[in-house]
Chain A
């Protein structure tokens, strides 16, 4: 058992070193090549141009997915992010076959322990508690670690009287943790109830994708819900619905604009405007 913990510690050190070097640099979403192809319009884009444009295609405005670290770098003021609760790792509650190996693999390639990164930072000088799901880590799925970290972040923002901002990017609950994952929906929503009772502001930003158990818990519960352009947002998967109703669904179904039209998000915002929109909202709630 000690050896096991030692191994984990050694690995943590290694990740920390890597992280220190790379903190604000794009890591995962784009292969190392000089040119990348837009996932929507197919246009070849020079990688540095894409980076300079916040990972948005200049031709068709397609929003590429961001890793949690990239998101934090884009949204927070430089060098203000202080990470919290960074050492949590799952213990495979169901003893699920191959799950540990899968986690190990993601930890190696993504250089993160799990799919949610959180901390404290400033956004245009406003202090906030910030949490970001990482869709590159097991589809941003919520298991024990993600649920616990979100809950701790909510509690941290209550204790420090901070606005809470969570960027969702998740396919939903983590299947390999079964009922434990399901209960994280209740746990995060419960913590938000008490955040609410404290009169504190919670901004939920739904990015691509925000579906399943994440859509049906904390992500839908913002005082203000923002959808980022190009986000798929919904409860049931499109394929499941198509199988149920035996019809093909239209392209715009469950799009960010669809959710605005139906009344479930306050606004749809382009990535380049996101920081300013959020800081305007923060300024209106100043002192909260």
Chain B
């Protein structure tokens, strides 16, 4: 494959992941979850509507869902802050995870965010602290926990709800340390080179599967999820149902040990003695 071809293939995925018609988390929740009851607020400051939290049934299994919501119409996108969470969004997510643990309910997180919101209020209320605490607490959460990257997995903002037993990605989703634009502006001092940056950042589902960082890829029809979401969502629902049964059958110590080891082992280095 020529490098130009590769650049175009990766950039096509970036555009599909961000496509305005790509279904957002609320569409996926509606498909997956019966009797969904939405729960609001972090009990500390306010309800961050960039993240949807709630409880319901996956098949006949009670489940807690935490989902980053980008919004669909222009007004909705603005209200949802384009899926960029404030600290209270991460604290809301953690509150609902702890609640799930209390009632021994598995957790599903749906990741779709350009990143955690970079703003004054977000800094004043401890964006870094909120994400850090989530990372630490998720590793010890005593219920089966799966994360699915629906569109964009943007950096610490995505990881802040995604330290789970398994991470799955839709075929055209991306998961990266930084947006290709941000990356290009840091490395090349030119945000317009995002397309070139994206190709070397290794952010596609295939890349991450190859690295062993994600466990599964949910296929999409040619042309992307927005052309036929039923096809992908039905596969996801079936696979999730099977996987939760499998995870629920593991004893909790083993589940947590496996989860820890999954993250413990990430890294590529040599050690000369």
A254–chain B nearest beta-carbon distance, Å = 6
Which residues does chain B contribute within 8 Å of A94, judged by CB atoms? 200-202
Q: Is A183 an interface residue (CB 8 A)?
A: yes
Contact B128 A190 (CB under 8 A): no
Q: Is B156 an interface residue (CB 8 A)?
A: yes
> Which residue of the partner chain, among A87, A184, A234, contacts B266 with CB atoms under 8 Å?
A184
Kindly specify which of A47-55, A117-125, A212-220 makes contact with the partner chain. A212-220
CA distance A263 to B87 in the complex (A): 14
B177–chain A nearest beta-carbon distance, Å = 5
Which residues does chain A contribute within 8 Å of B140, judged by CB atoms? 193, 197
Contact A213 B156 (CB under 8 A): yes
Contact mask B160-182 → A, CB, 8 Å, 1/0? 10010000000000011110001
Contact B176 A179 (CB under 8 A): yes
Kindly specify which of B67-75, B100-108, B118-126 makes contact with the partner chain. B118-126
CA distance A183 to B155 in the complex (A): 10
Contact A151 B264 (CB under 8 A): yes
Which residues does chain B contribute within 8 Å of A264, judged by CB atoms? 126, 128-129
Q: Is B60 an interface residue (CB 8 A)?
A: no
Q: Is B244 an interface residue (CB 8 A)?
A: no
Chain A interface size, under 10 / 10 to 19 / 20 to 34 / 35 or more: 35 or more
CA distance A88 to B125 in the complex (A): 36
> Which residue of the partner chain, among B119, B125, B187, B266, contacts A183 with CB atoms under 8 Å?
B266
Greatest chain A CB density within 10 A among B132, B160, B187, B213 is at: B132
Which residues does chain A contribute within 8 Å of B159, judged by CB atoms? 182-183, 185-186
Contact A93 B263 (CB under 8 A): no
Which residues does chain A contribute within 8 Å of B128, judged by CB atoms? 211, 215-216, 219-220, 234-235, 264
B130–chain A nearest beta-carbon distance, Å = 8
Q: Is A8 an interface residue (CB 8 A)?
A: yes
Which residues does chain B contribute within 8 Å of A263, judged by CB atoms? 126
A171–chain B nearest beta-carbon distance, Å = 10
Greatest chain B CB density within 10 A among A177, A178, A215 is at: A178
List A residues 205-252 near B (Cβ within 8 Å).
211-213, 215-221, 234-237, 240-241, 244-245, 249
Q: Is A187 an interface residue (CB 8 A)?
A: yes
Contact A244 B118 (CB under 8 A): yes
Which residues does chain A contribute within 8 Å of B263, judged by CB atoms? 183, 186-187, 190
Kindly specify which of A29-37, A63-71, A142-150, A268-276 makes contact with the partner chain. A142-150
B49–chain A nearest beta-carbon distance, Å = 18
Minimum CB distance partner of A188 in chain B = B135
A187-B267, A235-B116 given; A96·B127 CB < 8 A: no
A116–chain B nearest beta-carbon distance, Å = 12
Q: Is A262 an interface residue (CB 8 A)?
A: yes
New A-B contacts (17) at CB < 8 Å, excluding given A92-B268, A213-B155, A221-B136: A173-B155, A178-B176, A178-B203, A179-B202, A179-B211, A183-B213, A185-B156, A186-B263, A190-B135, A213-B177, A215-B128, A216-B116, A217-B135, A235-B118, A236-B116, A236-B123, A241-B119
Contact B201 A184 (CB under 8 A): no
Q: Is A76 an interface residue (CB 8 A)?
A: no
Which residues does chain B contribute within 8 Å of A234, judged by CB atoms? 123, 127-128
Q: Is A163 an interface residue (CB 8 A)?
A: no
A88-B269, A91-B270, A175-B183 given; A220·B133 CB < 8 A: yes
Contact A91 B268 (CB under 8 A): yes
- In order of increasing CB-CB distance, the 9 nearest A-B pairs are A236-B118, A189-B135, A215-B128, A144-B267, A235-B128, A93-B268, A190-B139, A220-B132, A235-B127
Which residues does chain A contribute within 8 Å of B178, judged by CB atoms? 175
Contact A96 B264 (CB under 8 A): no
List B residues 131-153 near A (Cβ within 8 Å).
131-133, 135-137, 139-140
CA distance A180 to B266 in the complex (A): 7
Q: Is B260 an interface residue (CB 8 A)?
A: yes
A179-B177, A215-B128, A235-B123 given; A189·B118 CB < 8 A: no
Q: Is A73 an interface residue (CB 8 A)?
A: no
Contact A89 B118 (CB under 8 A): no
Contact A189 B139 (CB under 8 A): yes
Contact B269 A148 (CB under 8 A): yes
Contact A235 B131 (CB under 8 A): yes
A193-B140, A236-B122, A241-B120 given; A148·B132 CB < 8 A: no
Contact A175 B186 (CB under 8 A): yes
CA distance A12 to B273 in the complex (A): 9
Q: Is A19 an interface residue (CB 8 A)?
A: no
Which residues does chain B contribute within 8 Å of A196, judged by CB atoms? 136
Q: Is A191 an interface residue (CB 8 A)?
A: yes
Minimum CB distance partner of A93 in chain B = B268
> Which residue of the partner chain, among A89, A192, A212, contacts B269 with CB atoms under 8 Å?
A89
Which residues does chain B contribute within 8 Å of A211, judged by CB atoms? 128
B262–chain A nearest beta-carbon distance, Å = 9
CA distance A217 to B124 in the complex (A): 17
Contact A216 B269 (CB under 8 A): no
Greatest chain B CB density within 10 A among A196, A217, A220 is at: A220
Which residues does chain A contribute within 8 Å of B155, judged by CB atoms? 173, 182, 213
